[in-house]
Every structure is written in structure tokens, then in C-alpha cells.
Copies of this chain bind each other. A is one copy, B any other.
């Protein structure tokens, strides 16, 4: 397996695009902007899904499924929502094909035009709130705590595998509550669930915060987010959780009778993460040799490669390998045994380096003699010979060590690339040299935010919820600022 990856230093963007394809994660399809997620990439996504799904259920949510299509009239009911999504909607207008009369092949049947066009969901607030109207009459019907795993379509003009695609996979939670306080608590809870998942499974440190008005979700009163920092100093929004107030309840007339009999509109949240997390995972940990995967999400945590020339050597090695696999699996370790005779060990070593398998174990005839195996770590490239009897304990310990090591490494990178500045000059200088998160005072206006964006391409990633809350003066206008906010160039 020849890798020839462009290095990150040379061209970070090219490195990413090549890695996604060469590590068999995804590729572009024949449909503009739509990707094919290949089995290895999908196996990682499945692990993300499994953990998130468990966390959602542990916080009381249930899954359901709502239609792919949204009638145009529904879509238009919440004004700021339609404004936010109208420019990127795939629209179904017909429901039949036919053979053209001039024998020119298959055409769209003009007689099969829909009375009302259907939008392929870019997000499901409208169709879901149209449904919730039927489900909610009284406070007894609340809260509704529902999640959906689904595909959505946003017609992006410039697309990149996982980071920005016309179709992507995600989950979208949509909850309904009797009080404002409960809805806000739910939105905050889900931000915390996302942060927990990101740090403990993806091994990606995140900053929790709220979005500025101009960066909020279309239709939200508050957008909570988790922001991560990639190795090229650019930020990536890894998940968002929205407090939607009563906007959708009003648009779809969803009212409930409180205990005292009074009617009020229902309070809402929505929250989502998508296959974009695959991009975050890749860009946070991987290196010039390929993918680096945290053990908690790696489809294969350990790969075992037998080394042999003669058949009797293979027999001896194979016996040791099979025994080890059994013991590792008994400990819940996900092991791949690559005993293919169509590929040489060196080729396999390269392949699993490229694919980011956390631990590689090689067993040769000399190892069998000595009762050892060779163990190599993907994250640090450390290799050691280790007593066969100690391998299982070592591997179990390594899973934790590697997981934590990746998180620490990413956290250190972020610390080194987080800079507090006091002046706009300093701000621009940091952005142009080391990049990363730049903490600065801001006067809270969209005008100042817009000016900084136009002049530097940096946006406010979030108003952090934790850390230093000292007030100060805006680096542009000198006007009062409640606390420093985080700026960065972003994906």
C-alpha cells in the first residue's frame, strides 16, 4: 500500500482530502456534492452513533422517524427559519418519469407535476412541529424528548468530504416543554452531552459557549455550541443545541393546557451532530503517515500480523495468534487478524498505519521461540517486544493510555494555540501567524463582528460559558465588553 500522502505542512487541505480517500473513509460520488461513506468510514460513524444513542437514551430520549419531504408551505411558516435555508434547498417537483415520445430516452413526465412542491429536509423542525401539534394537548403530554437519526440535504456550492456535503447523516433531537426554564435546561444538557462525547470518545477538547445573534441557528433564541480546534489552527463547530423559545409552537399552533387550565404555547429545543464529526476526528489526531484513531472509536483497536516464510512457521505463529485473539476478545478488545497471504507484512504495516489502528502486534517465528510479540503504537510509533503472557494486560492498559494521550496532545495543542489579545493589531498579527483561538473583547454588536469578519475572515466562534469573565473594552470600538469572546478562522 503506497501512501504518498501530501504532508500537513505542505498543504493541510490537500493532506485531508487525500487521507479521507486513501484511508477508505469516503469518496465523492457521481452526484454533485454527495459522498459515498465507505465501509471503514461507516464503521467509525456507527461507533459514534452507538455511543451517542446510548447517551441520548440515558438522558430520557426516544428515537422516532419523520418524513424526508417537507411541503413548501410548512417550510415557510417560521420566517427566519425559511430565510436561513431557502437558498440551499433541493426541491421535488414531479413524481414520475416516462419514455420520451421522440424516443430520446427517459424524461420527467410533465403531467406528473406536484400541486405543492416538496423540500428535501435540510432540518426537520417544521415537519416535526406540525406533528407535535397533534401530540400535545395538556401538560401531561410534556415533555416530548425525541431524537431522529436521518439524512438531510443542504445544497452547498463548495463541498468537502465529511466537512460540507450536499447530503449528510446526522441526528436531530427535537424536544417540547411546558416551561422556558425546562427547555433552556434541556438545550444546555445536550450541549454537555456533546462535550462529554467529544472529549471522552473523540478525544477532542471543546469549548462550550453560545453563538452570537448572527451565527445562531435560523429560528433559535439561543444557540449553544461546542467548538474544537484543528491542527491547522482553524476552528470547527462540532455540535449545536438550540433553545427555540416558542417560535415553532407559534408558527405551528402547538398549545398545551397547564395544570391550572390555562393555554400556552409549548417551548422547544433542537440539537444535532453530523458526519462532520468524522472531519473533526480526522483533523484533530491524524498525522503525515495517515489516520490516528482514539481506541474508544476505532473499529479495530488491535491488528495482528503474522510473520512467516514457511508453512510450518505459519502454523506455529498462527497458533499463538489465535490464542492471543481469543484472550483479547474476552477482554472486549476489537481485534483484526490479517492472515492474508496475498499481501506482505510490510504492506500490511503501512495499511494499518494509514488506517489508524491504535495497536499493531506482529508475531514471527523468533517471537514464538522466545515467547514474545512485537507491539507497536500508532500514536507515538513506539515499538517494543513484550512477554506473551503480559500482552493482554498491556493492551488493555494501552487502550486507556492512548485514548488519554490523544486527548492530552490535542489539549496541549489548543492551549498553545489560544491567545488572548488586547489590541486589533495584535489580533490580526496572531491570526496571520499562529492562528488558533483568539480571545478578545468585543462590544456585542453585529457591526463590529461583521467588520472583523470582512477584514480578517475570523468569526466569533462562541461566547465561552466557562473561564475568564472579566469585563473590558472592545478591541475595535473601545466600547464596554462583558467578557472576552473566541474568534477564529473556521471550517
Docked complex: A1-42 residues within 8 A CB-CB of B: 27, 29-31, 34-39, 42
Set of chain B residues within 8 Å of A72, measured between Cβ atoms: 97, 106, 108
The digit string for A65-105, where 1 denotes a CB below 8 A from any CB of B, is 11111111011100000100011111111111111000001
Interface contact B93-A108, CB-CB below 8 Å: yes
Q: A457 an interface residue at 8 Å Cβ cutoff?
A: no
Q: A120 an interface residue at 8 Å Cβ cutoff?
A: yes
Set of chain B residues within 8 Å of A342, measured between Cβ atoms: 140
Docked complex: A46-77 residues within 8 A CB-CB of B: 46, 62-72, 74-76
Interface contact B167-A29, CB-CB below 8 Å: no
Interface contact B117-A108, CB-CB below 8 Å: yes
Bound complex: CA of A131 vs CA of B24, how far in Å?
13
* Closest chain B residue to A70, Cβ basis: B31
Q: A325 an interface residue at 8 Å Cβ cutoff?
A: no
Bound complex: CA of A88 vs CA of B109, how far in Å?
11
Q: A313 an interface residue at 8 Å Cβ cutoff?
A: no
Looking at the assembled complex, report how far the CB atom of A378 sits from the nearest CB atom of chain B, in whole angstroms: 22
Bound complex: CA of A217 vs CA of B93, how far in Å?
27
Interface contact A43-B62, CB-CB below 8 Å: yes
Bound complex: CA of A45 vs CA of B148, how far in Å?
13
Most buried by B among A35, A69, A108, A167: A69
Interface range, A side: 35 or more
| Copies of this subunit | 2
Interface contact B120-A120, CB-CB below 8 Å: yes
Given the known interface contacts A30-B74, A117-B108, the answer about A39 and B67 at a Cβ–Cβ threshold of 8 Å is no
Q: A130 an interface residue at 8 Å Cβ cutoff?
A: yes
Given the known interface contacts A90-B95, A97-B72, A98-B86, the answer about A67 and B120 at a Cβ–Cβ threshold of 8 Å is no
Set of chain B residues within 8 Å of A146, measured between Cβ atoms: 39
Q: A282 an interface residue at 8 Å Cβ cutoff?
A: no
Interface contact A86-B106, CB-CB below 8 Å: yes
Bound complex: CA of A151 vs CA of B68, how far in Å?
8
Q: A155 an interface residue at 8 Å Cβ cutoff?
A: yes
Q: A142 an interface residue at 8 Å Cβ cutoff?
A: no
**A91's contact among B89, B95, B131, by CB below 8 Å, is which?**
B95
Interface contact A90-B92, CB-CB below 8 Å: yes
Interface contact B93-A91, CB-CB below 8 Å: yes
Using CB atoms and an 8 Å cutoff, list the residues of chain A in contact with chain B. 27, 29-31, 34-39, 42-43, 45-46, 62-72, 74-76, 82, 86-99, 105-106, 108, 117-120, 127, 130-131, 134, 140, 146, 150-151, 153, 155, 167, 169, 342
A-B residue pairs in contact (CB < 8 Å), sample of 29 = A27-B134, A29-B67, A29-B127, A30-B71, A30-B74, A30-B130, A31-B71, A35-B67, A36-B64, A36-B66, A36-B67, A39-B62, A39-B146, A45-B65, A46-B63, A65-B169, A68-B151, A68-B153, A68-B167, A72-B106, A76-B105, A86-B106, A87-B98, A91-B92, A91-B94, A91-B96, A92-B92, A92-B120, A151-B151
Other than the given A69-B90, A86-B106, 9 more pairs (CB < 8 A) read A35-B67, A37-B64, A65-B169, A68-B167, A72-B106, A90-B118, A91-B94, A92-B93, A151-B151
Task: Sort A-B residue pairs by CB-CB distance and give the 3 closest, nearest first.
Answer: A34-B67, A39-B62, A86-B97
